Amino acid sequence: GDSVTQMEGPVTLSEEAFLTINCTYTATGYPSLFWYVQYPGEGLQLLLKATKADDKGSNKGFEATYRKETTSFHLEKGSVQVSDSAVYFCALSDPGANSKLTFGKGITLSVRP
State yes or no: residue 80 binds another protein (CB under 8 A): no
70 near another protein, judged by CB under 8 A: no
5: Cα within 13 Å, side-chain hemisphere: 8
**10 Å Cβ neighbour count for 111?**
19
Chain residues 8-37 in contact with another protein, contact rule CB under 8 A:
32, 36
Q: How far is residue 78's CA from residue 60's CA, in Å, rounded to a whole number?
A: 11
Q: How many residues bind another protein (CB under 8 A)?
A: 23
* Contact flag: residue 50 with another protein (CB under 8 A): no
Residues in contact with another protein by CB under 8 A are 32, 36, 41-46, 49, 89, 91, 93, 95, 97-106
